[in-house]
Structure 1
Amino acid sequence: MGSNVMALLIAGWLLLILLVNMPNDVAAADPRFEPKCHIPCEDNNCWLPRIHCFWDQAFDPQVPANYSLHWKRVHSEEGHVKTGASLSGFIDRVHFSMNSELRVWVKAESQRGSAKSQEVVFNTGYIVKPAAPKITWSQQDPLELSWNSTCNEAHLSLGSCDVRFRTEANKMWLEEEIGAQVNYEFSDAVQPGVFYEFQVRCSCATGLMSDWSASHRIRSSERAPTGEMDVWKDCGVPATNIDCVITWKKLPIFQANGHILGYEVTLLSKHSTAVSVNISTAEPRGRLVCNEMQCYLNSSLTSVSSVNISAYNAQGATEPSYLAIPTPDKERNEQAIDVRMNTENLSVSWDLHSQLPDINSFKEYVVQYKQAGRRLGQGFSWMRVNESRALVTFRGHFEKSTPYQVSLFKVTHNGQSQHVSSVIEYSHQGTPLKVPSFKVTSIAATHVTLFWESGPLTMQKGHILCYQIGVHGQKSVYNVTYSPRNTSHTFELLDLNPDQEYEVWIKAVTKAGPGPNVIARFKTKQQEHLHLQSHILTLLPLVCLLVMLGCLSIALSFHRGASKVCVCLNERVPDPYNSTIFKMMKYQMTDPLAWICTPICEPHPTISFLEVVANQRPRCGKDSHPESQTTKPASTSGQRDQTHRCAREEYRKMVDSDEEKGTSGPGYMEDSSDEEEEGVASGYEKHFMPTSVEILEA
């Protein structure tokens, strides 16, 4: 038992050593290593040339190797020729016989080992390869061509021929086997006015197929173009712009039937005037701008109501295609379409059973997309589908972080169109750019109003979810919802402190993240009472100065009017209504500073003088007359009281000597009441007016 285990272990080690030492290159040899050989017919001689053999790499191309071509005839010794690093070799005519059997193989040697290909056995008479045919003649209508073969020239019978062709617009070849013939006529499937490219190859009766001939280019005969052109309009983003351009797709080859020379465009204005324009495709880029798929007329459609356009070639023109240019309407807010988009595909679908705007007897839908920020006619395409379809897919290259407006229209049988819905979509969303026009428009003590704009779609880089607003030094962040209907936005920032400087920031946020901050700085106003206090404190020095000037003016008045009679110095003054002093003050009051600059004094005041008659005793009452006064002496005190009371009564009836006498006015007083007649005088009389006794004493 132990000896068997030991034997198995020794056998395993020997096998492992054998596998390790075996050249890896032999196992890695390409199965196509076997040679492929033929006898080329050179200069129409198919019997004298040598045999050409070719093979592929035997090892890794990074490993240098040397090759040798080996052969052996029946009942003869092996022959070989070394080719070095070349992957082809020759067997000279002296080493083989025609129509005899020959074995051929290849050996390869490198620093890692050697390898041998499988043997290939063939009859030398069956490896003759004729030269490629030469096309000698062709015609347009019907499309036909012919060629010659080296088999006939080498006195060999023709075997079979193949023909392949393609149009300029198609890169794939269409191949057809036609048998032993040297001419070919195309069927009715040939497209008129199209350039075709042809190649032919043939074999001899017992040989190999030749290589393909050189390409031969021929154009089929033209016919008048057929069908109608696909005409539409590009009105930019948003799709309700006043101005548009007319655009159309180039006719496909099967409709053009030849080379399109130009377009006939008829523009019907809103005033029912028609203008026809013939635009040649050969004219330099100007009014007509084209790419591989479509063209547009670089002309305004502001006053155009409808368009007719047809394409023409040398044989005729298409039927005119009609398109009405509707009056721009308001874009609808409802999202009736679903858009899925990436960098290579744009899919648009809608619900046929939804409540879409209805047009009587419409025939088709038109789905279009427009890249925002591109000029009219550029970054634009559309597709027409019948009314039973609800899905279209555009294929192309859609740029990242770029907005595309996708729109759905209904079109009637008479060419009228109506907008159904539009949405903005992105193939890949990015972070937005800076928010434009961010500023503070209104500032109060505790709140401010912020203003900013959304900016053009090209700056947004994605669907804006919201705007974030914050104040430097505060943790609170305000999220303001974005509204695509509004191009400008406002936000009121509350709970601020009066008379304080602030720094506020804003940024837009998309699905990809927030954009950069935009900063605005401002300072809040003071509170109203604080503002009033500040004004008072500001004016206080001025008030003090005015008071000082007033005091100085009064002091100067004392100094200059010491010898004058001044109101401010007299203990007793006359009635103010009858004094020119107060008349002067009336005029001084119109000048706010006159009281400061001019002392209120009257050098020669006009005062009403009382005439005192010593021999007459004043009487009071209606029945008192001077003639009836008694002449009896009376006591001094009684006479003085009587005189004092009557003097006051007479003074109340006194009229200033400078005024006109009358029954009313400042100097006229009504009859005293009984209480006054009993000795109760007014406060003015008591304070200012002298009594008759005082006058007599004076």
Structure 2
Amino acid sequence: ERPDTPNDFFCQTQDMRIVTCTWSQGDTHLYGRHSPKYILFEEFSQKMVPCTVSCSEQCSCSWDIGQQRICNVTVTVENPLGKKTATDVFDVTHRIYPAAPFQLWEECTDTKITLHWKHRNKGIELFCQTEVLQPDGKVELHNGSDTHLDYASITLGGLQPYTGYTVRVRCGVANHFWRWSEWSEARTIRTTESTPSGKLDIWREITPVQGGRNVTLFWKQAPSFRANGRNISYELTWEKLEDGSKPESISFSSVYNSTRISIDNYSYRISIMAKNNVNCSLPSVLIIPTATGTEELKEEQVNGTDDGIFISWEPRHIYDSYIIDWCNYPMLQPCDLQWKRFGPNTSSALINSAAFVLGVRYNFHIYGSVANRASLLEKKTGYLKELPPLHDPTVEKVELTSNAVTLSWDYHLTNESGFVRGYHVYVSPVQEDCSLKGSKKHVLPDGAVLCKYAIENPEEKRYTVKYLLPNTKYKLVVKAYTSAGETPIVSFRYIDTPFNSNTLYLLVLLVIVPSLVAAICRWKMKWVKECCCPVIPSPNKSKALSFEEFKMGSEKVLKISDCIPDMLAVDSKAEAQKL
């Protein structure tokens, strides 16, 4: 197909003698001897441009224009199907594309860098731009430079001491700017050392011991602190305030951030400074007050969120700052003590840490500080998120009756995966579902129905389940629960209720005693009959006369006078004879 018009055709120079023209070629899909041919012609001189065209990504052609300053160059692209042209008219002094600066060197102080470089465009006034890559990745551009006979320079101020900066330079023509040169080679430069700026942040943990106190001191670099040098070390000093005794001091390398000292019960002034090869920073001061009996503060429960644990406190106008400390790993020793400082107008904070995990209790202490003296104000405890309890309560005592069971258990409320809100007692007969009076129904995943009783006071660790059946096997379990619920039931404890003793006594009275009496009566029937209903042939043979009151003399005689009849009946002689 016909050739395309050469696109982006323009010409430029680096030294006002050698001109280079470039353009983009189109695709004609013709190759070999039919591929396009390029011809450059300069109109003002009416001469063919004596250059060889080379094409890769772009086509270009360079030649020496001598003293000519105004040019009108036409490029013609031609193939067997046709031809197209493009023209560029230009003043050479307006098309200068400088060579890249080279041979950079610098002079440094703690806050300034003076950068020097050389350039090849002699006699051409250049305007240069310096790129500064900051340590945080930000890029700053500084325009302008001072030009000397053989080199140019720029001074970069407002820099940080002992900090590395990466710089590079490019230039353009000052009077008729055409385009920037290529960047020079990048150079990394470090400013010189200076006195550390800002202060260290110091904190403490006080442990009473016999005759005094152990003070564990911690320090870290505050956001405003800068070491400004290498070979950092720390200088720790402490002195008693009461008697003006000689201060004690100790030095640590930069790898340390804590130490422990032993002091008595008097007040002390503790200070720490950072030191480099130049000088020391300003001291950070901490006052340890005289040891006194402190009132035990009650811990308040706080709630976690997705972003951290929210802490609030009652502000007091007498303090100039507040400090919150906590342990990142409360179950370990050392626990990685952390602390944060807050201004006097702050009364709440969201505490977060990459070390916080679900189901771990974190304890927070809130201090008020004035004149470097800190006082404990409040205690808080909470979880990033509560989980169900890890362990079931241990049932230590079971008291059984025929229709009730009393359970007593032990449970340590600390070091749990959540705040224990109470307990659930589950009971059921082994062979059937449960439906005891006063209980709630709880259905297990396998469909079994348990009776559920709730104890909402976590300090209450005793409960009586009533309305059980005598002589019955029951299964039971005690579960603790938090705001996240409780773990599934996996095992039970089994009990057997005894017989009801009252029923046994009633059985004895109503069945066994009458049966025993009947058996004895049957066994002694003849004796009973003779005793109670004898055949009496003569009064003297009656066993009723064996009692003392019926004895008369040496014989057992029933007197007629002792028998007072209620009625008299006269029998016939025949009946009397029968008797």
Larger radius of gyration: 1
Supply the AA of the counterpart residue of 2:375.
S
The match for 1:217 is 189
What SS does the corresponding residue of 1:309 show, helix, strand or coil?
strand
Matched, 1:310 2:291: no
Q: Is the 8 A contact 1:134 1:148 kept in 2?
A: yes
Match of 2:217 among 246, 253, 271: 246
Q: Deviations over 1:479-535 (max 9, x none)?
A: 33365xx6xx623142144554433234454455543335341425636848999xx
Q: CA deviation at 1:407?
A: 3.8
Quick one: distance in 1 between partners of 2:372 and 2:250? Answer: 23
Matched, 1:146 2:109: no
The match for 2:130 is 163
Q: Is the 8 A contact 1:38 1:53 kept in 2?
A: no
Match of 1:491 among 433, 445, 462: 462
The match for 1:324 is 288
Matched, 1:503 2:475: yes
Q: CA deviation at 1:101?
A: 6.7
Q: CA deviation at 1:253?
A: 6.3
Q: Is the 8 A contact 2:163 2:191 kept in 1?
A: yes
TM-score by length of 1: 0.50
Q: Is the 8 A contact 1:51 1:91 kept in 2?
A: yes
Write out aligned runs for 1:421-440 (5 A).
Answer: 421-426=379-384, 429=385, 431-440=387-396
Quick one: distance in 2 between partners of 1:126 and 1:525? Answer: 108
Matched, 1:296 2:253: no
Q: Is the 8 A contact 1:198 1:216 kept in 2?
A: yes
Q: Which has the higher strand share?
A: 2
TM-score by length of 2: 0.58
Q: Deviations over 1:148-186 (max 9, x none)?
A: 132xx2325242223344554x33233322345432334
Write out aligned runs for 1:43-192 (5 A).
Answer: 83=56, 88-93=57-62, 100=71, 126=95, 128-140=97-109, 143-150=112-119, 153-155=120-122, 157-165=124-132, 168=135, 170-181=136-147, 182-187=152-157, 189-192=158-161
Q: CA 1:154 to 1:255, structure 2 compared with 1: closer, same or farther past 3 Å?
A: closer
Write out aligned runs for 1:645-664 (5 A).
Answer: none
Q: CA 1:527 to 1:233, structure 2 compared with 1: closer, same or farther past 3 Å?
A: farther
What SS does the corresponding residue of 1:408 show, helix, strand or coil?
strand
The match for 1:384 is 341
Supply the AA of the counterpart residue of 1:183.
S
Q: CA 1:396 to 1:203, structure 2 compared with 1: closer, same or farther past 3 Å?
A: farther
Q: Is the 8 A contact 1:436 1:452 kept in 2?
A: no
Matched, 1:342 2:306: yes
Q: Is the 8 A contact 1:161 1:177 kept in 2?
A: yes
The match for 1:408 is 366
Supply the AA of the counterpart residue of 2:61.
D
Q: Is the 8 A contact 1:431 1:509 kept in 2?
A: no
Q: CA deviation at 1:280?
A: 1.3
Q: Deviations over 1:45-78 (max 9, x none)?
A: 78658567899xxxxxxxxxxxx9999988799x
Match of 2:250 among 253, 265, 277: 277
Q: Is the 8 A contact 2:422 2:454 kept in 1?
A: yes
Give structure 2 stretches of 5+ with no counterpart. Answer: 1-6, 26-35, 76-85, 208-212, 435-440, 442-450, 509-551, 555-579
The match for 2:424 is 468
Quick one: distance in 2 between partners of 1:479 and 1:506? Answer: 10
Q: CA 1:95 to 1:219, structure 2 compared with 1: closer, same or farther past 3 Å?
A: closer
The match for 1:556 is none
Higher RCO (CA < 8 A, seq sep 6+): 2
Quick one: distance in 1 between partners of 2:9 and 2:366? Answer: 61
Q: Which has the higher helix share?
A: 1
Quick one: distance in 2 between partners of 1:70 and 1:530? Answer: 124
Supply the AA of the counterpart residue of 2:186.
A
What SS does the corresponding residue of 1:362 show, helix, strand or coil?
coil
The match for 1:417 is 375
Q: Deviations over 1:302-334 (max 9, x none)?
A: 978754333222233332521427777533345
Quick one: distance in 2 between partners of 1:35 and 1:530? Answer: 114
Q: Deviations over 1:256-297 (max 9, x none)?
A: 343462222346799999764321125xxxxx2xxxxxx333
Quick one: distance in 2 between partners of 1:467 and 1:70? Answer: 94
Q: Is the 8 A contact 1:133 1:200 kept in 2?
A: no
Quick one: distance in 1 between partners of 2:125 and 2:132? Answer: 22
Give structure 1 stretches of 5+ with no counterpart. Answer: 1-33, 56-67, 105-118, 237-241, 283-287, 289-294, 353-357, 537-678, 682-698
What SS does the corresponding residue of 2:127 show, helix, strand or coil?
strand
What SS does the corresponding residue of 1:93 show, helix, strand or coil?
strand
Q: CA 1:416 to 1:501, structure 2 compared with 1: closer, same or farther past 3 Å?
A: same
Q: Deviations over 1:633-669 (max 9, x none)?
A: xxxxxxxxxxxxxxxxxxxxxxxxxxxxxxxxxxxxx
What SS does the corresponding residue of 1:519 show, helix, strand or coil?
coil
Supply the AA of the counterpart residue of 2:288.
A
The match for 2:398 is 442
% identical aligned pairs: 13
Quick one: distance in 2 between partners of 1:323 and 1:120? Answer: 83
What SS does the corresponding residue of 1:366 show, helix, strand or coil?
strand
Quick one: distance in 2 between partners of 1:527 and 1:171? Answer: 84
Quick one: distance in 1 between partners of 2:501 and 2:426? Answer: 29
Quick one: distance in 2 between partners of 1:342 and 1:203? Answer: 52
- State the Cα RMSD in Å: 5.2
What SS does the corresponding residue of 1:434 show, helix, strand or coil?
coil
Q: CA 1:339 to 1:245, structure 2 compared with 1: closer, same or farther past 3 Å?
A: farther
Count, aligned residues? 432
Q: CA deviation at 1:214?
A: 0.9
What SS does the corresponding residue of 1:410 show, helix, strand or coil?
strand
Quick one: distance in 2 between partners of 1:465 and 1:71? Answer: 93
